[in-house]
Amino acid sequence: MAVLVYAETQGNKVKKAALECVFYGKKVADAEGAECIALVLGSANGVEELGNYGADRVIQISDASLDQFDSMVHTSVIGQVVDATSAQTVILAHSSTGKSLLGRLSAKLSAGSVSGVIDVPSYENGFTVKKSVFSGKAIAEFKVKTDKRVLTLSGNSFKPEEIGTRVDVEHMDVTIPTSSVKVIEVKREEGTVPLPEAELVVSAGRGMKGPENWGIIEELANELGATTACSRPVADIGWRPHHEHVGQTGVAIKPNLYIAAGISGAIQHLAGVNNSKVIVVINKDSEAPFFKAADYGVLGDLFEVVPKLTEAVKKFKAGL
């Protein structure tokens, strides 16, 4: 028996989401009396570190053709590894890649699937797991009735810890089908943590009055080591890039800290951020609905408050 964890990579490195999945996979494997096997597709380096986070075995199929993502090809390869390892549970990150594979693997393996799982499974009444539904407004418990199951793990649900040791990387022979998808270009902002993976997020909205004022948000984000985000209207009018938009139609995120400046907190915005662990709202309108969803509120002019907060963070960091 095995729990197979698909460890996602990007730019030749294992992603943080992969560490979370391996750490989670080890918990599941322990509960099931199984071994936790991490699977890496493509030519990433340093994958033996997955052992540190709980993988009992690491399998890497380093064929360069797997560096480009095609859900059809990757599903075929993962399916072959599932068969070879007799894996019963497959775990993926709840990312654009993981979500694209989840449904395919479910269909391929005739396995029940649950997307965006937030907790370890319970085995009391069959195999059950929890996930967030209705855009964060409720939690549902899903029961998987098939012997095999596929899950995506919601990002930032577990903080990976070093619970194991490095393991030797194994190779496995598989048949790689030809792809009818050709990736031409990947445009990605380098050097920043992408929003769905960010632990700290500083976000701003229409209250900023114009794109030229974003410097104070970026400074705060830099000081904190946070990723910047924005509300829908701001992305729609082109003040900020589309991929920064968090909310119902944008990215749904779950950071430890979400700081929102000049965002009123419409229900569509909350749908994307209400799973954040701690929410700080800075707004000059005491009626802003966002205050009701916040842990900490600052009623004031963001153009005064945000730079003061940046100074305070600087002072704090200097004193650490």
Partner 1 sequence: MKLLVCISKTPETTAKIAFSDDKTAFIKDGVQFIMNPYDEWYALVRALELKEANGGTVTVLNVGPSSNDIIIRKGLALGADDAVRIDTDPQSAYYTAAQIAEYAKENGYDIILFGKETIDYNGSEVGAMVAEMLNLPFASYVSKLEMTDDKAIVSRDIEGGVEVSEITGAFVLSAAKGLAEQRIANMKGIMMSKRKPLKVVPPSDVENPVSVTGYSLPQGKLGVKMLDPENMDELVRLLHEEAKVI
Footprint on residues 237-256 left by partner 1 (CB under 8 A): 242-243, 245, 248-250, 252, 256
Nearer to partner 1, 171 or 182 (CB): 182
Angle at 72 between CA 249 and CA 147, to 5 degrees: 90
Of residues 250-289, which lie at the interface with partner 1 (CB under 8 A)? 250, 252, 256-257, 267-268, 271, 274-275, 277-281
Which of 157, 73, 72, 85 lies closest to 114 in space, CA to CA?
A: 157
Residue of 194, 204, 205, 254 that binds partner 1 (CB under 8 A):
194
Q: Give the separation between CA 120 and CA 25, rounded to whole angstroms.
A: 9
Tell me the closest approach of the beta carbon of residue 91 to partner 1, in angstroms: 15
Distance, in Å, from the CA atom of 175 to the CA atom of 152, rounded to the nearest integer, reads: 25
Which residue of 168, 173, 185, 212 would you call a contact of partner 1, by CB under 8 A? Answer: 185
Cα(162)–Cα(208) distance, integer angstroms? 41
CA distance 310 to 126: 50
Binding-site size for partner 1 (CB under 8 A) equals 101
Comparing CB distances to partner 1, the nearer of 86 and 249 is 249
**Closer to partner 1 by Cβ: residue 57 or 82:** 82
Q: Stretches 33-41, 57-65, 104-112, 157-165: which one binds partner 1 (CB under 8 A)?
A: 104-112
Mode of pairing for the β-strands spanning 35-41 and 13-14? unpaired
Determine if 141 is a binding residue for partner 1 (CB under 8 A). yes
Question: Residue 215: is it exposed, middle or buried by C-beta count within 10 angstroms (0-12/13-18/19+)?
Answer: exposed
214 touches 208 (CB < 8 A) = yes
Backbone angles phi, psi at 38, to 5 degrees: -95, 140
181 binds partner 1 (CB under 8 A): yes
Query: Is residue 104 a contact point for partner 1 (CB under 8 A)?
Result: yes
Q: Toward partner 1, which CB reaches closer, 26 or 94?
A: 94
Q: Check residue 304 for interaction with partner 1 (CB under 8 A).
A: yes
Nearest to 47 by CA among 61, 31, 30, 29: 61
**26 part of the interface to partner 1, by CB under 8 A:** no
By CB under 8 A, what part of segment 68-97 binds partner 1?
Answer: 69-72, 75, 95-97
Residue 209 or 292 with smaller CB distance to partner 1: 292
Q: Is there binding between residue 100 and partner 1 (CB under 8 A)?
A: yes
Among 1, 140, 163, 237, binds partner 1 (CB under 8 A): 140
Sign of the dihedral through C-alpha 80, 85, 88, 91: negative
